[in-house]
Structures are given as C-alpha cells and as structure tokens.
Chains A and B, each alone.
Chain A
Amino acid sequence: MMQPTLHSTPRPRDVLREQLRVTGSALRLPFLVPAVLLVLAALLVAGLTDARSPADFHPESQMLPGMLGLVLPIAVWRGERHFGAGFLWTLPVDRRRHALAKVFAGWAWLISLVAIFVLWLLAYTLVTGGKVQPVEALWILPPRPFPAHGLVDPATLRTVHWTPEPLFWLVPFTAATGTYLLASAAVLGLRHPLWWIVGIGIAIVALDGVGALAHAPWLRMAPGRVLEPLFYGPYGFDALLTARIQSIRTEATLATGESVVVWRTMPDLRLWVVATLLWTGGGLAALWAAASRHGERRPA
C-alpha cells in the first residue's frame, strides 16, 4: 500500500485572518445596534445645533466601552458549543491557541468600535465648540467623611484647576480590553456563566435575609465589605472603567441650597495605570486558565 501524503495544518496567520473575518460576521448584528445609535445621536446633535452647549472632550468618563467589553464575548462566541464536540474543535488547530485566536479577533473588532466611538466623541466636541484639553475647576471635598444627608459648607471646598493628561484618552481602550478579557474568560471557561452571575446575586440576597433573621448586621454588611473596595476602591473596577471618575465625582448640596458637582479627590493617573495592569493581568491569567480547560491535553 502506498503511504498516503499527509496534509499540513493551516498557517497561524491564516487561522487568525479567518477568525477576524468570521468574528466580524458574527458581530455584524451586535455592531449594528450601537452604530445606529451613534448615527441617531449624531443627527440629534446636528438638529440641536442652535441649542447645543459646548461639550468638552472626556473619553475617560465614558462607561460605554467598558460595558461593551463585558457583553461582546457573548456575541463573539455566538453559536459555538465550546464545551463538548463543538465545530471549532473539529478544525486542525491547537485547541487553546484556537480559542485565544478567536478572543483576539473579537478584541480587534472591539478596539475598532471603541476607536470609532472616541472619534465620534471628538467630533461631537468639535461640533459643539467644546475643548479637547479643557482646563477645569474642580471643587474638592475636605478629607473627612462626606456628610451623607448634610449640607456642605462652600468654605470647606478646595478649588483645583485640572487638565486631564492625554494619557487618559486611553481609558476607553484599556477599560474595554480589561472587561473584555474578564468576560471572555467567564464565557470560555464556565459551562454556565449566567448561572454563576445569578447564583452570586442570590447568595448576596440570601446573606442579607439570613443576617436580618439572625439579627446579625455584620452578616448583612459582609457582601458590601467585599464588593465596595472591589468596585470603588483605589484599584477597584471603577478605576479600570473610568479612572475612578464615576466614583470620585458626586453631587452635593451646598449650605446655600445650590446643588453642585464636587470631587472626593483628584483623578490619579498612577492609580489608573496600576488598576489597569491589575485587572488586565488578572483577565489575561483567567483567560489563559479558561482556554486551558479546552487544551489538547485537558483532563479526561
């Protein structure tokens, strides 16, 4: 019997190119919705030209890119049975590399969309006569507990002039990347990611209920003690999403009765860099672990 000629595996760049194409096709519908919304918003801006007020360029305070990164993996993995004998795994590519190539392809599209969004914000700023690098006067609260229901004495507020460094323009990209990596790890590594989310929610409610029944306030506060630093701490999730701008900026009522935007502290570039490295590094590690669950030498 003549020895058959063995076939070669595809080149990595061909796999990556095909994943970019196929992921683009899979994302076409989910992309359409934000695209239509952007066009509608642009038309609205054009229609309200007379009434518009100058809008300064603040891509760092936008939560949309981070949120998009959280949901996009669902669209990237649409129709893929990644647990079991899914179509993806029948193809002649190392399973872990293949999964990572798909994640990378989704990320490339995500970053493209975020870039369009940031350019749209820039265009909006220019159309409305806003400033790209504004000098802003921030009112900083005194370093003592912020009165929850009380009035703030205007004399205690410190005024600081701040111009966001251009590095903050990267926040939408790093936020989208960090959340995308974490969500991709969940979608790829868990059989039922939604069950986990719902389960954690139920556990928090159950803790609250048990704490109330047992008259144990510490039990009721336990989830908050864990979640608050995780979301709003110096290196919390908000530091990744908006460089903490959403959590350090708040509204306060002055003693004069006027309602104003005040800041608990100044936005800190260093904290944002560290938080981004932590969350993105964690996301990469989680993604590697998730992809390894599908590796060629995974456990039986």
Chain B
Amino acid sequence: MSRPTHPDPDVDACAVSTHGLTRRYRGVTALDRVDLRVPEGAVYVLVGANGAGKSTTLRLLMNLERPDAGTAEVFGLDTVRDGPGVRAQIGYVPEHHDAGYRWMRCGRLLRHAAAYYPAWDPAYADHLGRAFGLKPDRRVGTLSKGEARRLQLVMALAHRPPLLLLDEPTDGLDPVVRRQTLALLAEHLADTPTTVLVSTHQVYEVESLADHVGVLREGRLVAQLSRDELRRTVRRYRVEVPEGWEAPPGLRGTGARRSGTGREVQWTLVGEEREVTERLALAGARVREVTPLGLEDAALAFLPEEGPR
C-alpha cells in the first residue's frame, strides 16, 4: 500500500517546505527527517500526540531553535540564513501563554509590536482588540490564560502576515471566545491572502477551515495530504469475516472493533477504497459498508491506538 505522504509537490508553490528537518534534545530525537510541504494559501493542520514534534516544528520555522539537520524555507527564504526576513512574514502564536513583557500594559505591547511590522494595520488591531474584549490599560502580567492568548492572536493577525503559525491557538479560551476566535480567523482568511499552519489537538475546531493535514508521530511525519485525499483514502469499513479470520498483513488501520459474534469487524483503514476492498476480499473478508470520516477521525487513523492522542 502506498504511503499517503507526498513530499515532492512543486516546492516553489509552497509557503513552507522543510527538507529532512531533524531536532534532537540530549540525544532524544524530537523531530526526525521531516519533509513538510504547506501549499500557499492552504490551511494546514498539524496533528499529533503530545511530544510528537508539532511545537518543535513551529519553533524551528521561527528560528527560535536550530535544527540538528535539514533545512526549512518559508516563501523560499531559508529560516536560518534569513531569519528576520522569515519572521517578517509570520504571525506567530506560541504554545505558551507568555504574551510578552509582564510589566507592560496591553496597549503599549501592541504599539511595541507595531513598531516591528511595517505592515501593521492599527485600525485592524483596534478592531481585533475590541472584538476580543482586550483592555489596553491592563498589565500583561495580570492577564488570565485566555486573555493572554487573545492578546497573542491580535499581535499575530494585526500585521496581516502572509503566514500564520498557530500553536494550539484556542488553548485556554472558554467555549464562547473559542467560537468567536475561530469566526475571526475565518473572517481574516476571507479578507487577507494567508497561509495557515496550525498545530492542534482539537482538529474538529478547524475542520471547516482546514484543507491539508499532516500527522506527526514520535517526530516523524507519517502522513501529509489534502483534505480531499484524506476523505478519499481513509474510510471506515464494515466487514464480514469468517470465524478465526486474521487480517492480511500490511493493511494500515486503526480502531478495529469486532461485533459480539466476532463475525463482523468495523475498521478504519488507509488506502484507496478499491485497493483495500480487493485486499480484504483476497483475505476472505466481505466488505458490507464503507463510510467516509470526518477530518479528525481520519487524521487519528494515522496515530497509534494506545496512549494519548
């Protein structure tokens, strides 16, 4: 079965491309030869368990960390050789909620950020600040986790960057603000030509926006495909099997559940439907039903069943 990773689309049309990107921490490999391709204008969702390497990938793109091997490019600019040029294209929301200088007031911090981005749109920053209910007189150090996250989002969006790197952007937000944030993000994407690389555990939140998915598992990019490819190649199969049936080797799947009699199996499998059906039939199983999956369930098919996701 072919691996659903396509590392060689036209690199020139990529907002982000990495080549063998590797990062180790004291001998432990956090990111292992990752070849990421984020097409321009895409909303690319990076999925993976805790510690899979999602945040590390984003930090490497910002040149906040240096790779042990490999290279990364943003709009054709090398992240190490042209770090400032790369960061000028990026609106970054980090994993942590440390929004800047704790002693500073929110309004001052926004003016500080504005000085660094010639494309800063003050009217838009005001609009976002009001929409998020930010109080310019509040000190950054007194903000709650959710308020700090909203401030980070304003700083990331207000210069209308060509690329947004969002690391768990809705983390710490209450359900109302979370919905509002996603609506503002959708509005931003409609108004501004932007590529988004978002790392999240809550894939369902960005399901309506996402058009590409990458799955990281233990530092390796195990899948990278478009939304359409994902919907086409990852499906749930209801299969009737003979007694004592063993699955054919090489089938990639997850979430296998047998019915009470053991004669029926429900299984999420990866691969072209015709190919999977043929292989199951050759192994003596009979496919009764094939159903497409939502983005989150489809992405989870690439992650191990055991352990946190």
Residue of B nearest to A297 (CB): B80
B206 to A: closest C-beta gap in Å: 20
Scan residues 46-86 of chain B and give those whose CB is less than 8 A from a CB of chain A: 59, 62-68, 75, 80-81, 83-86
Residue of A nearest to B64 (CB): A85
Do B41 and A7 touch (CB < 8 A)?
no
A62 to B: closest C-beta gap in Å: 30
Residue of B nearest to A300 (CB): B66
Residue of B nearest to A14 (CB): B115
Do B13 and A1 touch (CB < 8 A)?
yes
Which chain B positions have C-beta within 8 A of A4? 15, 40, 75, 162, 193-195
**Most A C-beta atoms less than 10 A away, residue of B80, B96, B116, B119:** B116
Which chain A positions have C-beta within 8 A of B88? 6-9, 92
Cα of A3 to Cα of B194 in the assembled complex, Å: 11
Interface readout for A60-94 with B: 1 if CB under 8 Å, 0 if not? 00000000000000000011110011010111111
Do B162 and A6 touch (CB < 8 A)?
yes
Do A85 and B59 touch (CB < 8 A)?
yes
A25 located at the interface, meaning its Cβ lies under 8 Å from any Cβ of chain B in the complex: yes
B92 located at the interface, meaning its Cβ lies under 8 Å from any Cβ of chain A in the complex: yes
| Number of residue pairs A-B, CB distance < 8 angstroms | 112
Stretch of B100-108, B127-135, B265-273 that contacts chain A: B100-108
Do A1 and B39 touch (CB < 8 A)?
yes
B25 to A: closest C-beta gap in Å: 10
Residue of A nearest to B112 (CB): A22
Which chain A positions have C-beta within 8 A of B194? 4
Which chain B positions have C-beta within 8 A of A80? 101
Which chain A positions have C-beta within 8 A of B98? 81, 87
**Most A C-beta atoms less than 10 A away, residue of B62, B101, B102:** B101
Residue of B nearest to A95 (CB): B83
Find B94's partner among A90, A91, A296 (CB 8 Å cutoff): A90
Do B94 and A8 touch (CB < 8 A)?
no
**Most B C-beta atoms less than 10 A away, residue of A1, A4, A21:** A4
Cα of A299 to Cα of B119 in the assembled complex, Å: 32
| Chain A interface, DSSP helix/strand/loop, else mixed | loop
A57 to B: closest C-beta gap in Å: 37
Which chain B positions have C-beta within 8 A of A10? 115-118
B285 to A: closest C-beta gap in Å: 43
| Chain B interface, DSSP helix/strand/loop, else mixed | loop
Do B13 and A90 touch (CB < 8 A)?
no
How many chain A residues sit at the interface, stated as a range, is 35 or more
A72 to B: closest C-beta gap in Å: 16
Cα of A114 to Cα of B138 in the assembled complex, Å: 33
A190 to B: closest C-beta gap in Å: 19
Which chain A positions have C-beta within 8 A of B104? 22, 25, 79
Do B115 and A18 touch (CB < 8 A)?
yes
Do A25 and B108 touch (CB < 8 A)?
yes
Do A94 and B83 touch (CB < 8 A)?
yes
B305 to A: closest C-beta gap in Å: 32
Which chain B positions have C-beta within 8 A of A95? 63, 83
Residue of B nearest to A97 (CB): B84
A267 to B: closest C-beta gap in Å: 42
Cα of A80 to Cα of B65 in the assembled complex, Å: 17
Which chain A positions have C-beta within 8 A of B84? 9, 92-94, 296
Scan residues 192-222 of chain B and give those whose CB is less than 8 A from a CB of chain A: 193-195
A288 to B: closest C-beta gap in Å: 18
Find B100's partner among A1, A87, A297, A299 (CB 8 Å cutoff): A87
Cα of A3 to Cα of B63 in the assembled complex, Å: 23
Do A78 and B103 touch (CB < 8 A)?
yes
**Most B C-beta atoms less than 10 A away, residue of A21, A79, A93:** A79
Which chain A positions have C-beta within 8 A of B63? 89, 95, 296
A15 located at the interface, meaning its Cβ lies under 8 Å from any Cβ of chain B in the complex: yes
A256 located at the interface, meaning its Cβ lies under 8 Å from any Cβ of chain B in the complex: no
Do A91 and B116 touch (CB < 8 A)?
yes
Interface readout for B132-173 with A: 1 if CB under 8 Å, 0 if not? 000000000000000000000000000101100000000000
A-B contact pairs, 8 of them (CB 8 A): A1-B41, A2-B193, A4-B193, A6-B89, A7-B159, A26-B101, A79-B101, A300-B66
For the complex of A and B, 5 pairs with smallest distance between CB atoms: A92-B88, A18-B115, A300-B66, A4-B162, A92-B87
